[in-house]
Amino acid sequence: MPNGAAIARPPAERPRQFGRVGFLTAFARGLSRRCPRCDRGALLAGYIAMPPRCASCGLDFEPCRADDAPAYFTILIVGHIVVPGLLLMERALHPETWLQMAIWLPATLFLTLALLPFVKGATIAAIWASKQG
């Protein structure tokens, strides 16, 4: 390195400015389990654990605790899928009780576990969007 040559340094990163995000945009980002503000960072760390902040934009997720709401919403959604299916099957085919149980219990479990992270992301994003100034 020649004498007096300056060491090239990356320019200091300026904090990104984020405009107001609409409710439906934030909700859709949360439904895809992405940060409702920047749409780049992960909203969930693992299955349903919430990180303290977004790794991309630094949004603090602590004020957006969803608590038990995602579980209630998931049960509501799954119930509206499983109960009509069970009743329609009973009316049309009259299967044995053991067959109904063999079909609808695993379907309920699978749907609940599959939907829970998406519903949690959407709930957190909806809470965040409603608290925007």
Tell me the average pLDDT across 24-29: 96
pLDDT of residue 132: 85
Instruction: Write the CB contacts of 66 (distance below 8 Å, at least 6 apart in sequence).
Output: 50, 120, 123, 124, 127
Express each pLDDT in 67-102 by its tens digit: 999 999 999 999 999 999 999 999 999 999 999 999
Q: How far apart are CA 62 and CA 124, in angstroms?
A: 10
Q: Is the pLDDT of residue 133 over 90?
A: no
Taking the model in full, what pTM does it have?
A: 0.84
